[in-house]
Structure 1
Amino acid sequence: MARILSILVGLFFTVALAWSFGKGAYTQITEPPALTAEHEFHLHPKKVHFASDGAFGKFDRQQLQRGFQVYKEVCSACHSLSHVAFRDLAQLGYSEAEVKAIAAGFSVPGTDPNTGEATMRPGTPTDYFPKPFANDIAARAANNNAVPPDLSLMTKARHNGPAYVYSLLTGFTEQPAELLKEFPEAKTPSGLHYNPYFANLNLAMAPPLTADGQVEYGDGTKPTVDQMAKDVSAFLIWTAEPKLEKRKQTGWAVLGFLLFATILGYMSYRNIWAGKKH
């Protein structure tokens, strides 16, 4: 009896699942969802290559330093790097004195040793990059009611993150006339900016990189908008995964060990079972 009951219960759920699937498929065919501006005009990230791409990729330290400069002079006014300490910049090739100088150029929360009151003090290498706003309310007030996201893990938090960041920075443009004609209700609201690489096409962030030469590179690289966007994207790859090179090196060592173990196992098999008959 119990077996028959369990079969009937299983049959019921199977039929219910098949019915719901069939109904959903029928509805999708007979009543397809209406197209939206986001569906029609949202673009996938541009194709862009970084030195760290691929199984043998390595960071270009010079590019990372340029990217940090772009972050410091342009992006840090709104975006934080809360998971990155100043001392981590030594991995980019900065000397101890340079790291101390960079840290001292930022003000971080501290405590007055005489009064115990909260105060601001120059940063030290052990400090983390400070937040540009005291709280979310202040951040929203300065950014059209939007809180600028922390950039520490941005290239890991978005699909195809490095290309997404690069595309977003270079993708600001006027709304296409075709979009306004087909979806007049999708006109970019006042205070927002059209960018086809953003999910809903409009974002509160104004174009941060507006002109060539906005940042002056010390290594002679021409600071075009495209170059600056690529450099800061490369820097954010590093902030999201500073041990990327070590991971790849370890991966190759593990693959080498597995290959050796596979060959050794096969040779052992041949040696032990070569004369055995099944």
Structure 2
Amino acid sequence: MMGMKSLIAATALFTALTMGGQAAHAAGDAIHYEKQDWSFSGLFGTFDRGAAQRGLQVYREVCATCHSLDYISFRNLAGLGYSEEEVKAIAAEYEVEDGPNDEGEMFTRAGTAADRFVAPFANDNAARASNGGALPPDLSLIVEARAGFEDYIYALLTGYGEAPEGVNVAEGMSYNKAFPGHQIAMAQPLYEDGVTYADGTTASVDQMARDVTTFLTWAAEPNLEERKRTGVAVILFLIVASGLFYASKRKIWADVH
């Protein structure tokens, strides 16, 4: 929800270790991530709602198995173009722990629009136990918590492959050309036709990577478009104000030689 780089700098310090315990910004291990063409880039860029909705589907069917989305509530999905009824329907697919009840017991209920996305594990220890000791990072702010931002996420998701000759990949690790150190504990998550898109779009690895990156960029800063509109309005105001100030100055000092 927060898109401020100052906050992200602090977040990055905590999240700098990815699954496998390797430093994401290790000295001397910098990687150049090719700049991609994103609809939300630039001063007037906006989110592609279709891509973001497909990205939500990829997150729910693939990423949510291991990764949480702790800072996003179901009602926030209205920002992606979902109707109130659609948001309620999505939320109701989840079971949320609530309570205590009158007997002091916790219970589960269907999710509501006010609830946040349900984490795949009860706690960090359970997450580590299910992932060979590695803690899958929460994805709410992951785009802005990594050097390279959205280009890094896309590069990581499409960067899996066979290790070059002479490179030994440790047991339980996968080779990824976009990951610092090139060995990552997260197995390749995306495969051709890994999901069946509701809108009929072909689910190639590239398409799924772009879509889920768009969704995660929105999750990190859902107010991006509003912030851009505000910025444009402020710039226009300053331009007009500068013109008025200059005209006033010329008129006031016109008789002074």
TM-score by length of 2: 0.86
Match of 1:258 in 2: 238
1:45 aligns with one of 33, 52, 64 = 33
- Rounded to whole Å, the distance in 1 between the matches of 2:192 and 2:178 is 21
Match of 1:161 among 126, 146, 149: 149
Partner residue of 1:246 out of 199, 218, 226: 226
Report the equivalent of 2:253: 273
Distance in 1 between residues matched to 2:239 and 2:69, nearest whole Å = 40
CA deviation profile, 1:187-213 (whole Å, cap 9, x unmatched): 22101111121123211111110x211
Letter in 2 for 1:246: E
Q: CA deviation at 1:38?
A: 8.6
Q: After the TM superposition, which residues 191-202 of structure 1 pair with which residues of structure 2 at under 5 Å, given as runs?
A: 191-202=172-183
Instruction: Report what 1:231 is aligned to.
Output: 211
- 2:86 paired with 1:98: yes
Are residues 1:145 and 2:145 paired?
no
Tell me if the contact between 1:80 and 1:149 (Cα under 8 Å) persists in the aligned partners: yes
Give the alignment of 1:20-99 within 5 angstroms. 39=28, 43-99=31-87
CA contact under 8 A between 1:38 and 1:200: conserved in structure 2?
A: no
Q: Is the 8 A contact 1:38 1:201 kept in 2?
A: no
What residue is the counterpart of 2:187 in the other structure? 206
- 1:236-267 Cα distance to aligned partner (Å, 9 max, x none): 11001101111111111000000011111111
Q: Which runs of 5+ in 1 are unaligned?
A: 1-36, 181-186
* Residue identity matched to 1:257: F
Aligned residue number for residue 5 of structure 2: none
In structure 2, stretches of 5+ residues that fail to align are 1-25
Maintained 8 Å contact 2:101/2:107: no
Q: Partner residue of 1:9?
A: none
Q: Does the 8 Å contact 1:52/1:60 carry over to 2? A: yes
Q: CA RMSD in A?
A: 1.7
Partner Cα distance (1:94, 1:144) in 2? 37
User: Secondary structure of the equivalent of 1:152?
Assistant: coil
For residue 98 of structure 2, the aligned residue among 103, 107, 110 is: 110
Q: Is the 8 A contact 1:212 1:225 kept in 2?
A: yes
4+ residue segments displaced more than 3 Å: 37-40
> What is the number of equivalent residue pairs in this alignment?
232
Deviations 1:68-93 (A, max 9, x none): 00001000111111110001111111
Q: TM-score, normalized by length of structure 1?
A: 0.79
Structure (1 or 2) with the larger CA radius of gyration: 1
Shift of 1:112: 5.3
Higher helix share: 1
Aligned equivalents of 2:237 and 2:28: distance in 1? 47
Cα deviation code 1:136-181 (max 9, x no counterpart): 1111111121111011111111122111111101101121115x3x
Q: State the Cα distance separating 1:130 from its structure 2 match.
A: 1.5
Deviations 1:47-105 (A, max 9, x none): 21111111110111111110000001000111111110001111111111211111111
Aligned twin of 1:188: 169
Instruction: State the percentage of identical aligned residues.
Output: 51
Larger RCO, structures 1/2 (Cα 8 Å, 6+ apart): 2
User: 1:39 Cα deviation (Å)?
Assistant: 4.6
Specify the code of the residue in structure 1 equivalent to 2:250. R
Question: Post-superposition shift, 1:113?
Answer: 2.4
Instruction: State the one-letter code of the partner of 1:127.
Output: D
Contact 1:168 1:198 in 2 (8 A): yes
Q: What's the CA shift for 1:275? A: 1.9
CA distance in structure 2 between the aligned counterparts of 1:100 and 1:154, rounded to whole angstroms = 26
